[in-house]
Structure 1
Amino acid sequence: MLVFYSLGIRCYYFLIKIASLFNKKAGLFVSGRKNLLTDLKNAINDNENIVWFHAASLGEFEQGLPVMEAYKELFPQNQVLVTFFSPSGYEERKSHPIADWVFYLPIDSKRNAKQFLDIVKPKSVFFIKYEYWFHYLNEVNQRNIPLYSLSALFTVDHIFFKSHGVFHRRMLHFFDHTFVQNESSLQLLNGLGIEKASISGDTRFDRVLKTIDQPDHYQDIENFKGGELLMVIGSAWPSDMQVLDEFINTSPQNLKFIIAPHLVDDLNVKKITSGLEVKTHRFTSGQEIPSNTKVLILDTMGMLSSVYQYGDFAYIGGAFGDGLHNILEAVAFGLPVVFGDKGLEKFPESLALQQLGGAFSIKSKDEASTILEKLTSDDSFRSATSDICRDYVLNNAGATDHIISYLKNQNV
């Protein structure tokens, strides 16, 4: 099975290299790994006391950030190396102050894993949520370097728990401790005989609480909202806009919209706005917003998590295709959230909030209009759902403290 795994990794990289000829993201994936190990060696330069955190992309980095911050406060003598698999994470956070170094992760091969670890010589290693690369994990395990999985989340649909998942299950046993988000994940691990695990909760709750304490402020956005209601549409895909266009086009005068596209390239923005019949404005911070603008399209990355502070309720995209995006950034500011109905079992916070009454899944434009009209017109309903959302975040905070307490006792 290892032979097929390694062959699959090589084929994947070969296809990415072909795609890099015409796809910008694939191009960054390839160019970012050119001379990577040499650049890494020159940057590390035999530094000691390095702790390695690995994230697939931006979302996982944000999930692990509270732990990185608390870790550096607890062990200031250690230096932090952060690696990313995806360009969307690396490009957004390559200059983040939490890290002493930020690099792409070399493609998973036995040779790369050995060379990487020979250079870095980490004291301990943390993989965040959904990242399992056999050669790296195996090499870390063989070198007896403490290895931890942060905010892990498992469902019965994952390959680890299938009859044909024997090879993948080996990787779960490499970890010295796995911090899982919920009880069902822990039970699944225990069912495989993995006892070195505990329920920490989801560190994203700690992350969003910090965001609402210290949000970035945008006077332009505040002026745009004025004294009217504002709906924020976060991480929007064209498939999301298909169920929202009608509501936006017929919405009352006292309701404005901010749309943050998942991708901000011209073609994608054109697809997202193609069904809108109201006045839109593509916005970059510092630009003047026309007075008759109904819909503001954010033309920049990194604003969304703070923009939610100006909203009254939100729609979060992705659940009609790629997967639901982060709803907690909106919920932390007390925004009731609406989203699509596909694949929600992978996002337990979406199911929990629906049960509590702070979130609503929809499968059609009629369902979208019904709940959004109620959030617009019923002040008491909107206020009650807002309180549910705030309480949910506060009641689920503390995952970072659990993890750091364990690490402190292990002195890693």
Structure 2
Amino acid sequence: MWLYRFTLLLLTPTILLKIRRFQKKYSHYRPKEALGFWPSVSADLWVHCASVGEVLAVRPLIVQLREKHPTCRFLITTMTPTGAEQVEKSFPFAEHRYLPMDWRFSVKRALKRLTCKHLLIIETELWPNLLFQAKQQGLRVDIVNARLSERSFLRYQQFSHVSRPLFKLPDSFLAHAKSDAERFEALGAKKVLTTGSIKFDLSVSPDVLQDNWREQLGSRFVWIAASTHQGEDEIALNAHKALLQKESDALLLLVPRHPERFDTVYALAKQYFEKVGLRSQDSPDQWSNFDVVIGDSMGEMMHYYQASDLAFVGGSLIKRGGHNPIEPALLGKVILVGPYTFNFLDITEQLIQIKGAIRCLDEIALEDALISFASNPSLCYRVGRAAQRFAEKNQGAVTRVLSEIDFR
């Protein structure tokens, strides 16, 4: 632990700068909580979600928990202000706190203000001081939807003298897939079960279907470049230029992964196209005026997917490892991914195998796939329907998780 704590000490100026940036940008951000100064809170279940994606992912689990335990008191923590906004929107009945930064004194200070016996961590937010202090305080800790890429696994193996004690701390890892479970076991985890991804159990909100952005866009071909990172936006914009030569009324919805990049990506898109809109300024019934619309909003990804005929899932054309392909699959959309999908490797490979997704190894392959699908609506329907059947077939992880976490 001394090496981790020393590294954390070196990173202190960067962490404090990030807290300051959040405070300046988001009026509702509470920096004292990130330093461990929590108001007292009592809960039956503490659920930690890093940010927006995890908050949305845990929704079906919390819904079913409330049905079984109507009086359950929830504490939900996030790292980010956008995650906090999503908690307020999705779970108005829950208490929210910002997770303290993983300095030992901050975590200890926060946990002294907490009365709770059970912590669920969504995905793999393994903060050493948090886990150590939680176990010292007698909390049961379960890692839900646990996933670990081969790349991360190899990193942990390099520092096994630090990582093995860390992986022994949680009471259980409820793994996303069998390959993840095997990696956790190899790193010394005590109890590992493969329960599947709770993200498959995400139901499409009635608001998404009622708002029906797709209907407002007419018959034009619409595609989304979702959760893009730096280096992918240019590729998407170039691919859209090529597509417009064949389909002159095609529309690209370009949705960057991180909100701090919204302005930068908008400026970049303006270099490629004259007609560029912003979700924050232009409603879907106005999008017929644009070649590209920048999705500068949070918590609306299912709306963007619903509005599209085809979804490119970002983080996969660069070595980021790709993002979750389940959401577009649930909506029956054609899914395109790049060569780097190690974050969701099993799911992506299965989607490709059942012809519900296409892997594009480079920009040229992405352009070719776009042009092919744009000119063939029946092919779009077949591939999208295959993805949807796959997603529906894999539902049920929430039930398996609830049977294992022994919630009282």
Q: Same fold judged by TM-score > 0.5?
A: yes
Cα distance in structure 1, aligned partners of 2:376 and 2:287: 29
Aligned residue for 1:201? 196
Equivalent positions of 1:8-407 (< 5 A) are 8-18=7-17, 23=21, 32-34=30-32, 40-42=38-40, 44=41, 47=42, 49-97=43-91, 99-157=93-151, 158=153, 161-207=156-202, 210-211=203-204, 215=208, 217-218=210-211, 222-223=215-216, 225-249=217-241, 250-262=245-257, 263=259, 265-276=262-273, 279-284=275-280, 287=283, 289=286, 291-321=288-318, 322-342=320-340, 344-348=341-345, 349-407=347-405
Ranges in structure 2 where 5+ consecutive residues have no aligned partner: none
Please say which of residues 368-377 and 212-221 is displaced more in the overlay: 212-221
Residue identity over aligned pairs, in percent, reads 20
Number of residue pairs the alignment of both structures matches: 399
Contact 2:225 2:313 in 1 (8 A): yes
Cα distance in structure 1, aligned partners of 2:140 and 2:378: 51
Name the CA shift for 1:194/1:245 in 2 (closer, same or farther; >3 Å).
closer
Q: Give the letter aligned to residue 173 of structure 1.
A: K
Cα distance in structure 2, aligned partners of 1:28 and 1:9: 25
Contact 1:259 1:296 in 2 (8 A): yes
Contact 1:336 1:382 in 2 (8 A): yes
Displacement, 1:220? 6.1
Cα distance in structure 2, aligned partners of 1:189 and 1:247: 39
Contact 2:141 2:172 in 1 (8 A): yes
Deviations 1:76-126 (A, max 9, x none): 222111111234423443454255211111122333333322211212111
Q: Give the letter aligned to residue 225 of structure 2.
A: I
Cα distance in structure 2, aligned partners of 1:95 and 1:173: 35
Contact 2:59 2:90 in 1 (8 A): no
Name the CA shift for 1:25/1:396 in 2 (closer, same or farther; >3 Å).
farther
TM-score by length of 1: 0.86
What secondary structure, in the 3-state scheme, does the structure 2 residue paired with 1:239 have?
coil
Cα distance in structure 2, aligned partners of 1:294 and 1:74: 48
Name the CA shift for 1:25/1:193 in 2 (closer, same or farther; >3 Å).
same
Please say which of residues 89-98 and 309-318 is displaced more in the overlay: 89-98
Deviations 1:307-335 (A, max 9, x none): 32232111122223444233221121111
RMSD across aligned C-alpha pairs, in angstroms? 2.9
Contact 1:212 1:306 in 2 (8 A): no
Contact 2:223 2:311 in 1 (8 A): yes
Aligned residue for 2:3? 4
Displacement, 1:365? 2.4
Displacement, 1:393? 0.4
Q: Give the letter aligned to residue 361 of structure 1.
A: R
Name the CA shift for 1:387/1:402 in 2 (closer, same or farther; >3 Å).
same
Name the CA shift for 1:165/1:286 in 2 (closer, same or farther; >3 Å).
same
Cα distance in structure 2, aligned partners of 1:290 and 1:27: 28
Displacement, 1:234? 1.7
Displacement, 1:286? 6.6
